[in-house]
Amino acid sequence: MVQPRKHLAQHWLKSEKALDAIIKAAACQASDRILEIGPGTGILTRRLLPLVQSLVAVEIDYDLCKLLVKQLGKTENFLLLQGDFLTLDLPSHTAAFPNFQKQNKVVANIPYNITGPIIEKLLGTIALPNPEPFDSIVLLVQKEVAERLYAKPGSKAFGALSVRVQYLADCELICTVPAAAFHPPPKVDSAVVRLHPRQIETPAIDPRKLENLVKLGFGAKRKMLRNNLQPVIERDRLTQLLEKLEINPQTRAEDLSVNQWVTLANELGVGSRGRWGDEGDEEDEGDEGDERDKEENN
């Protein structure tokens, strides 16, 4: 049995209750083709395989791959790919396996330190959405990141990550998972979330402009929005525009809904200045986790 490796910050999920919640949230059908990122020891994989048509698992750890091959290598609806999910070209690796192409659902317990990049690869970005979106994405993530994903405007957790994800998908909290559900327990609690990619409700005229505006607007959450956006619009003009849109001129970035961000970006398309936030930084996000939560939980 492969033991959790400290240098990889590995933690094995052991809670049957958490596994049950993930399986229920996935709502698997016999025709589903599943993508699992970071199967680890295969505890979730083994629960999924009898329920679906096929499952593609991507694992970076060579020793864990050997274990999975030994235990599940003869399972007809299981395909294991060794590599880094962020750089792996899934279509090319599954091209020779018709039954494993075009996965329609994601069910995964992902490494917390790369949560942001994983979600971006699954959903795409505001400017470049995934052209073939998944039916649903069920993820076990750090609790604080989960709170950002489904946060409502006006809440402390609502930030640039919230806008980017909610522009492309509906997000719901399934359940929280305590640190004790893992071996060894990580330093943070976790949560199961479900994303439903959907058609964009209010499309931006220029999605790239919206993407950069959100980045700039959340550059310093403690400042009023009109101060953060000065690189692209004069303060007085922005105040007038906010009043036109019936938005308090003293509002902060986290107070605007996704649709309001889209409307603001569309209105700013004429007569604005600057580089639209290409150089901006997001002060509040921590999408990829911080030093205390760089955990790979499987």
CATH number at residue 42: 3.40.50.150
At 190, phi and psi to the nearest 5?
A: -125, 175
The CA distance from 195 to 172, in Å, is: 7
Residue 154 has pLDDT above 50, yes or no: yes
pLDDT at 235: 86
Please report whether residue 275 resides in a domain.
no
Using a 10 angstrom Cβ sphere, with 0-12 exposed, 13-18 middle and 19 or more buried, the burial of residue 100 is buried
The model carries a pTM of 0.90
pLDDT at 98: 94
Residue 73 has pLDDT above 80, yes or no: yes
Residue 264 belongs to what H/E stretch? helix 258-267
96 with 156, same domain? yes
Q: Which of 112, 161, 75 is nearest to 288 (CA)?
A: 112
Residue 8 has pLDDT above 90, yes or no: no
pLDDT at 11: 78
Residues 150, 172 contacting (CB under 8 angstroms): yes
User: What is the per-residue pLDDT across 178-232, written as a single tens digit (0 to 9) for each?
Assistant: 999 998 898 999 999 999 999 998 999 999 999 999 999 999 877 899 899 988 8
260 with 181, same domain? no
Domain residue limits at 258: 207-267
49 is in an annotated binding site: no
110 with 141, same domain? yes
114 with 61, same domain? yes
The CATH number for 246's domain is 1.10.8.100
- Residues composing the chain: 298
30 with 173, same domain? yes
Q: In terms of pLDDT, which residue wins out, 144 or 237?
A: 144
68 with 215, same domain? no
Query: E strands within 62-156?
Result: 78-82, 105-109, 136-142
109 is in an annotated binding site: yes
The CA distance from 270 to 253, in Å, is: 21
* Angle, vertex CA 89, rays to CA 134 and CA 204, nearest 5: 45
Please report whether residue 282 resides in a domain.
no
Residue 291 has pLDDT above 70, yes or no: no
266 is in an annotated binding site: no
216 is in an annotated binding site: no
182 with 62, same domain? yes
206 is in an annotated binding site: no
What's the total number of domains in the chain?
2
Please report whether residue 214 resides in a domain.
yes
- Those residues whose C-beta lies under 8 Å from the C-beta of residue 141, and which sit 6 or more positions away, are 110, 112, 115, 149, 190, 191, 193
240 with 101, same domain? no
Percent of the chain with pLDDT over 70: 89
pLDDT at 231: 85
Which segment of 21-25, 87-91, 111-115, 279-283 scores lowest on mean pLDDT? 279-283
Q: Which of 263, 256, 167 is nearest to 217 (CA)?
A: 256
User: What 8-state DSSP symbol labels residue 220?
Assistant: S
90 is in an annotated binding site: no
13 with 93, same domain? yes
The CA distance from 176 to 140, in Å, is: 9
